[in-house]
């Protein structure tokens, strides 16, 4: 089984590791040190070797930060992790604070002393993040200073895992849909238009996309950890640990791409002297900008030039996504059938639920990896938005409760991400009513039409309005971008309350995942992936409008739908979706499952 | 009659005035000069003495800019004014360009020559606007330079009207709801929190609000043109032309407010030396910032500290708004009755329509002014969003057409702004269907509930979604803030597609005005004002939600509503609104009108 349930950290980490960090800090003459969650590649998911925050504190969430001072220390997490951090981190060692309200800057203003020197590793912070921290430290009379050697890495020493060296392989054209030379030529031309002669690329997802390669350095995403320099003429330099090279990679990359080692990068940056070079100040570490400046290059600050083209999938990638979702839908349907039948009697625990779903996906023969660790929340655990089952927290399903399962798969032709919420036994009227409200928002966002130029925040409201009308809301975004056999969370577009200026464009794959969470009782989320479709005129309309095509194919639990709360339009939409699921997935599942699916897809 | 229909400019202005401006420019050794629409107070509406753009070009719209170079000149307007500018400006003299797409910066990059000096009047541009222009000029190798004397003002000479000196009067507590000392104390405390010892206020609306005074220097808004310095301790200095002083004003202002003349302002800024002073870099002219910096003050850049408190009306102001809207609703109802009866036979022209409506408002005895020149668009003129009737463009109503009337009034207790669209003769099915789509969006935004923290752009979609679904949209915002016997367009909140980070808060008055425009045929807009109501829990809900109370009271033309396109919820909402209108307004209108109103308010 791919997913594991053992805890990899302990609340004792803080008391054990903090003195080691402080001693390394003191040796370098520093009064404090900043520990971000991010690593050298500003990834969401990290290889074990780079999960510094977890080693220092015990906290394993996907976002956060810590500050270690001479005489105090604090960890910062956002609202999603408010419960988990108390479980994983020793509150006697680390003061627990909110990452968003005040965050690290407020702490520095309060706790730093005049004259103090607070160290940071310039390879781990973006220039934009550092600027905020520098201002806060200055207000306390303290100064930030880049370290030469990361004191945490020194303290970690031999116990630190090795850097991953997973093989890097070609990502064939039948999945990528556009060869790397073509991608490099058009991104190169875009660099020229921005007045840059080259771009420094540090995002593994961008590098994987640009060169049509995939790796395995980061769990759950086929990412190669690497850096690259793309020149405006379409030639490039790729800095990759030789241990990751596979036999056919050099030929695949071609003679326009020079393969080099990470040790060559510093010299390559020095060669930029006097030239305009694009760097993304939100995505790349400050180290790159500082090195380039020191070398005399001219910095062009702009977003990662691969981010938007990567987000807009081409026809081959969209066709792959459709295929991947039919395959995934068959596995999901077998799983939902199991939940609706056997599990209603056997009342499995969450770990069994995760294993069962994984086994159906594995049976497809095409599974490369999960796209993230499955969230299976039984009863009250479903109300913890970023819950993952572990042996210690594992909970049995119970009659009269809900089971929320958020999961996804990595296939060569596409990445999936889907949430279904199912009744175990007889659901209460309140559960059905709230499920139906979530469904109304979900359906509204699936059928919405919108003009070119519309951004995610404008559509976020479409999914929330039915819940707002009932005095309810949910404290997470409504939709994130998804890669094509890449990261399951991908920018630059996002459907959420927080501002995002990127217009939704044809080919972008986004999730549609409104939810409702009743603390201590149950959680509801309905999530499908949908792709932005080309602008088409509407009969009688005057302006071509964009829209969405739903990719995910898995039935929605009809036992949780209060038919009377749906409008005629909503019922027709749900019925049409279920008819699509039945037609696409029915032929791919065993007869017994197909018979159940037919029932599950009967018009509401 | 208050509104006039004579044109105040001519397309010949460009050819006549441009040589005068160029000659004054050349005398100062400049190769170009920037002419913004804005004046010294960054107001939307200008006194005639400050409408420099109109004098230079002939264009009288409420937004725009011009650039005069040695050998070329261009005028910039947004999409609303694309037709009007061609009508008012000589295209042989001024190249006509888009204000938004590229705008002035793109023109400077293209047209300015290396070494050129482009002049600007620092009293007319905000620092934020100047920064963009400065960068664009630099890219062309040209430099911006502040002038000592505005060459356009020199060219205008004796022909320029005098600065207005309308009397400034107290705005009594029965309308303002909070005395000036209390306002000054709390805004002063807010300054301290931001680390400022004082704020320079240059917005006439903020000054009117803070000191509870009203003036008449600007048409359609009771604004006094003035500047002020508010100190953190609540004391203030008000710089006001002595010609505007009325007898009881000094006593009304009290001894915490020092009355000074505009000539004293420069010395007052010099006294700020070494002190932290708040200035709004988006609202105040660059001249203030530059003068303060030259004087050695420490600039605290932050939004105008009065803008948000002014937008959140207190209980007395809201009660006043309700009263004003009942009074205005009675006048409107008499007008709508006239349109629905007599006008169906007499087929009046637009100027008669405007006059009739004004006469009903005047008859209330409480009318201080219109809140803007009435837009009466008959037939195809209704499709021109910012149309105003003039003797030349005046159009007769025709059977089988629509009449769009957007109007408002200034009363001591409140400012109104309302649009109704009415059928003349028998409307077509297409007109009724599109009216009903606009109505669906309007009703959705009137009944929406939303959590604290929600911003205007998140609600904009609520009004547009029904039109988007039909392949339609409109090219203007959905809602603007409205003052309390102040400007009819007031920030900082706004419901529109363009980003706005200000959360809607209880007491804010905003318009709700979706529309549909068929060029060359007809225009539809339905507009009411609504006030954000306090957060209240919803039965069965978990979070207190904000909402809106509709202020405007005037029936919506039922002959334009396609009943079958409305949901049951929408019908009930429309019926409830009409019942409110009938109950509030019915008793205030003549018997014949009341009988008609009863018919007009029958459930749909």
Q: Tens of pLDDT along A245-261?
A: 999 999 999 999 999 99
- Res B271: pLDDT: 94
Q: Per-residue pLDDT averaged across B131-135, rounded?
A: 89
| pLDDT for residue A604 is more than 90 | yes
- Res B80: pLDDT: 79
B537 contacts chain A (CB < 8 A): yes
Q: Report CB contact under 8 Å: A541, B471.
A: yes
Q: What is the residue-averaged pLDDT of chain B?
A: 95
Of B499, B537, B538, the CB nearest to A501: B499
Which range, of A338-342, B271-275, B524-528, B598-602, averages the lowest pLDDT?
Answer: B271-275
CA nearest neighbour of B3 among B370, B416, B405: B370
CA-based angle A89:A90:A96, to the nearest 5? 70
Tokens linked to B336? 């709508």
Q: Per-residue pLDDT averaged across B571-584, rounded?
A: 98
**Helix A591-600 and helix A315-340, axial crossing angle in degrees, nearest 10:** 90
Q: Which chain B residues touch A465 with a CB distance below 8 Å?
A: 448, 462
A201 contacts chain B (CB < 8 A): no
Q: Report CB contact under 8 Å: B472, A542.
A: yes
Q: Per-residue pLDDT averaged across B97-101, rounded?
A: 91
| Element of type H or E holding B76 | strand B73-77
CA distances from B599 to A441, A483, B570, B583 (A): 38, 59, 19, 13
Spell out the residues 6+ positions from residue A197 whose beta carbon is closer than 8 angstroms to its own.
A191, A231, A232, A275, A276, A277
Q: Report CB contact under 8 Å: B450, A472.
A: no
Cβ atoms of A427 and A559 closer than 8 Å: yes
| pLDDT for residue B388 is more than 90 | no
- Res A117: pLDDT: 95
A135 contacts chain B (CB < 8 A): no
Alpha helices by DSSP H, listed for A50-193, are: 52-57, 82-88, 103-111, 127-139, 151-156, 173-176, 180-193
Q: How many distinct helices (H) and strands (E) make up chain B?
A: 20, 27
For residue A76, the SS3 value is strand
Distance CA B604, CA B574 (A): 8
Give me the long-range contacts of A268-277 (CB less than 8 A, separation at least 24). Answer: A268/A229, A268/A237, A268/A239, A269/A200, A269/A295, A269/A297, A270/A295, A272/A198, A272/A296, A272/A297, A273/A297, A274/A298, A275/A197, A275/A198, A276/A195, A276/A196, A276/A197, A276/A300, A277/A196, A277/A197, A277/A198, A277/A199, A277/A200
Which range, of A499-503, A520-524, B99-103, B557-561, averages the lowest pLDDT?
Answer: B99-103
A195 contacts chain B (CB < 8 A): no
Would you tell me which residues 425-454 of chain B have a C-beta closer than 8 angstroms to some C-beta of chain A? 447-451, 453-454
Q: Per-residue pLDDT averaged across A197-221, rounded?
A: 96
Task: State the first-to-last Cα distance of chain A, in angstroms, to the nearest integer.
Answer: 37
| pLDDT for residue B561 is more than 90 | yes
| pLDDT for residue B306 is more than 90 | yes
Chosen from B458, B476, B566 to mutate, greatest number of chain A CBs within 10 A: B458
pLDDT in tens, B17-53: 999 999 999 999 999 999 999 999 988 789 999 999 9
Tokens linked to B386? 């910012």
Of A453, A470, A537, the CB nearest to B541: A470
A296 contacts chain B (CB < 8 A): no
For residue B115, the SS3 value is coil
Q: How far is Cα of residue A449 from the mean position of the Cα atoms in its chain?
A: 26
Spell out the residues 6+ positions from residue A135 whose beta carbon is closer than 8 angstroms to its own.
A105
pLDDT in tens, B395-409: 999 999 999 999 999
Q: Report CB contact under 8 Å: B540, A461.
A: no
Q: Per-residue pLDDT averaged across A115-122, rounded?
A: 96
- Res B367: pLDDT: 98
pLDDT in tens, A46-75: 999 999 999 999 999 989 999 999 999 999
Q: Which chain A residues touch B501 with a CB distance below 8 Å?
A: 499
Residue B582 half-sphere exposure, CB side, CA atoms within 13 Å?
16
Spell out the residues 6+ positions from residue B251 whose beta carbon is closer than 8 angstroms to its own.
none
Distance CA A494, CA A427 (A): 33
Q: Which chain B residues touch A571 with a CB distance below 8 Å?
A: none
**Total Cβ atoms within 10 A of residue A594:** 16
A468 contacts chain B (CB < 8 A): yes
CA nearest neighbour of A94 among A102, A106, A85, A103: A85
Q: Where are the beta strands (DSSP E) in B252-314?
A: 257-260, 276-279, 298-301
pLDDT in tens, A365-384: 999 999 999 999 999 999 98
Of A458, A471, A538, the CB nearest to B471: A538
- Res A536: pLDDT: 87
Chosen from B440, B461, B540, B567 to mutate, greatest number of chain A CBs within 10 A: B461
B242 contacts chain A (CB < 8 A): no
- Res A573: pLDDT: 98
pLDDT in tens, B340-366: 999 999 999 999 999 999 999 999 999
3-state SS, one letter per residue, for A334-375: HHHHHHHCHHHHHCCEHHHHHHHHHHHHHCCCCCCEECCCCE
- Res B311: pLDDT: 98
Distance CA A267, CA A258 (A): 14
% of chain B residues with pLDDT over 70: 100
User: What residue in B sits closest to A541 (Cα-Cα)?
Assistant: B471
- Res B385: pLDDT: 84
pTM, 2 dp? 0.93
Q: In what order do the strands lie in the sheet with B418-424?
A: B375-378, B401-407, B418-424
pLDDT in tens, A491-500: 999 999 999 9
Q: Per-residue pLDDT averaged across B157-165, rounded?
A: 94
pLDDT in tens, A480-523: 999 999 999 999 999 999 999 999 999 999 999 999 999 999 99
Q: Per-residue pLDDT averaged across B528-545, rounded?
A: 94
**Cα of A568 to nearest chain B Cα, Å:** 10
| pLDDT for residue B374 is more than 90 | yes
| β B143-146/B117-120 pair status | parallel
Q: Which chain A residues touch B457 with a CB distance below 8 Å?
A: 457-458
Spell out the residues 6+ positions from residue A67 whose beta carbon is closer than 8 angstroms to its own.
A32, A33, A34, A35, A73, A74, A76, A104, A107, A108, A111, A118
Cβ atoms of B53 and B129 closer than 8 Å: no
- Res B328: pLDDT: 98
Of B459, B461, B543, the CB nearest to A472: B543
- Res B503: pLDDT: 97
- Res B68: pLDDT: 97
Predicted confidence band of residue A7 (pLDDT cuts 50, 70, 90): confident
**Cα of A577 to nearest chain B Cα, Å:** 19
Of A457, A473, A537, the CB nearest to B471: A537
Q: Report CB contact under 8 Å: B472, A567.
A: no
| pLDDT for residue A100 is more than 90 | no
B189 contacts chain A (CB < 8 A): no
A462 contacts chain B (CB < 8 A): yes
- Res A385: pLDDT: 85
Q: What is the residue-averaged pLDDT of chain A?
A: 95
Q: Per-residue pLDDT averaged across A190-217, rounded?
A: 96
pLDDT in tens, A403-460: 999 999 999 999 999 999 999 999 999 999 999 999 999 999 999 999 999 999 999 9
Q: Report CB contact under 8 Å: B542, A472.
A: yes
Cβ atoms of B57 and B84 closer than 8 Å: no
pLDDT in tens, A590-599: 999 999 999 9
Spell out the residues 6+ positions from residue A234 whose beta carbon is closer than 8 angstroms to its own.
A181, A184, A185, A188, A256
CA nearest neighbour of B292 among B200, B230, B191: B200
Q: Per-residue pLDDT averaged across B572-592, rounded?
A: 98
Q: CA A264, A267, A272, A278 torsion: positive or negative? A: positive
**Cα of A454 to nearest chain B Cα, Å:** 8
pLDDT in tens, B429-459: 999 999 999 999 999 999 999 999 999 999 9
**Cα of A278 to nearest chain B Cα, Å:** 18
Residue pairs between chains A and B whose CB atoms are closer than 8 Å: 81
Predicted confidence band of residue B82 (pLDDT cuts 50, 70, 90): confident
Distance CA A393, CA A387 (A): 9
| pLDDT for residue B500 is more than 90 | yes
């Amino acid at each position: 089984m791919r997913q594991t349930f053992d805890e990899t950290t302990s609340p004792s980490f803080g008391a054990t590791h903090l003195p080691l960090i402080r001693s390394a800090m003191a040796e370098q003459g520093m009064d404090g040190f900043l520990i971000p969650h991010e690593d050298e590649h500003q990834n969401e998911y990290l290889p074990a070797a780079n999960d510094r925050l977890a080693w220092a504190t015990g906290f394993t969430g996907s976002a956060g930060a810590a500050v270690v001072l001479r005489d105090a220390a604090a960890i910062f997490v956002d609202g999603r992790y408010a419960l988990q951090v108390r479980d994983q981190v020793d509150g006697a060692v680390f003061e627990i604070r909110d990452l968003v309200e005040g965050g690290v800057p407020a702490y520095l203003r309060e706790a730093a002393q005049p004259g103090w020197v607070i160290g940071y590793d310039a390879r781990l912070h973006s220039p934009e993040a550092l600027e905020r921290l520098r201002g806060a430290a200055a207000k306390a009379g303290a100064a930030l200073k880049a370290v030469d050697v990361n004191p945490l890495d020194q303290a970690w020493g031999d116990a630190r895992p090795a850097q991953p060296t997973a093989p890097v392989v070609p990502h064939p054209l039948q999945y990528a849909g556009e060869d790397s030379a073509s991608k490099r030529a058009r991104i190169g031309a875009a660099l020229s238009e921005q007045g840059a002669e080259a771009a420094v690329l540090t995002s593994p997802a961008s590098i994987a996309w640009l060169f049509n390669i995939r790796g395995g350095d980061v769990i759950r995403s086929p990412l190669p950890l690497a850096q690259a320099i793309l020149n405006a003429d379409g030639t490039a330099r790729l800095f990759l640990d030789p241990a990751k090279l596979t036999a056919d990679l050099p030929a695949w990359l071609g003679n326009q791409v020079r393969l080099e080692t990470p040790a060559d990068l510093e010299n390559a940056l020095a060669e930029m002297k006097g030239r305009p070079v694009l760097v993304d100040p939100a995505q790349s570490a400050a180290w790159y900008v500082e090195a380039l400046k020191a070398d005399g290059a001219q910095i062009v600050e702009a977003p990662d030039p691969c981010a938007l083209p990567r987000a807009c999938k081409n026809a081959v990638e969209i066709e792959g996504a459709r295929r991947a979702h039919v395959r995934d839908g068959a596995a999901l349907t077998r799983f939902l059938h199991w939940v609706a039948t056997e599990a209603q009697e056997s009342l499995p625990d969450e770990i069994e639920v995760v294993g069962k779903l994984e086994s159906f996906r594995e049976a497809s023969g095409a599974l490369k990896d999960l796209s993230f660790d499955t969230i299976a929340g039984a009863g009250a655990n479903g109300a913890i938005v970023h819950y993952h089952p572990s042996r210690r927290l594992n909970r049995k399903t119970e009659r009269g409760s809900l089971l929320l399962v958020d999961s996804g798969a990595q296939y060569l032709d596409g990445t999936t991400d889907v949430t279904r919420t199912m009744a175990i036994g007889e659901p209460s009227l309140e559960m059905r009513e709230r499920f139906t409200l979530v469904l109304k928002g979900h359906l509204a966002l699936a059928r919405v039409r919108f003009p070119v130029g519309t951004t995610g925040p404008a559509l976020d409201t479409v999914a929330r309005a039915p819940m707002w009308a009932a005095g309810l809301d949910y404290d997470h975004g409504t939709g994130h971008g998804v890669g094509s056999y890449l990261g399951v969370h991908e920018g630059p577009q996002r459907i959420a309350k927080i501002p995002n200026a990127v217009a939704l464009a044809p080919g972008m794959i986004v999730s549609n995942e409104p939810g409702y969470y009743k603390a201590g009782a149950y959680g509801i989320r309905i999530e499908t992936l949908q792709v932005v479709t080309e602008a088409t005129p509407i009969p009688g309309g005057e302006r071509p409008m964009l829209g969405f095509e739903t990719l995910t194919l898995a039935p929605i639990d009809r036992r949780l739908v209060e038919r009377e709360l749906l409008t005629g339009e909503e019922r027709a939409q749900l019925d049409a979706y279920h008819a699509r699921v039945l037609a696409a997935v029915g032929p791919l599942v065993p007869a017994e499952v197909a018979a159940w699916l037919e029932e599950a897809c009967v018009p509401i």
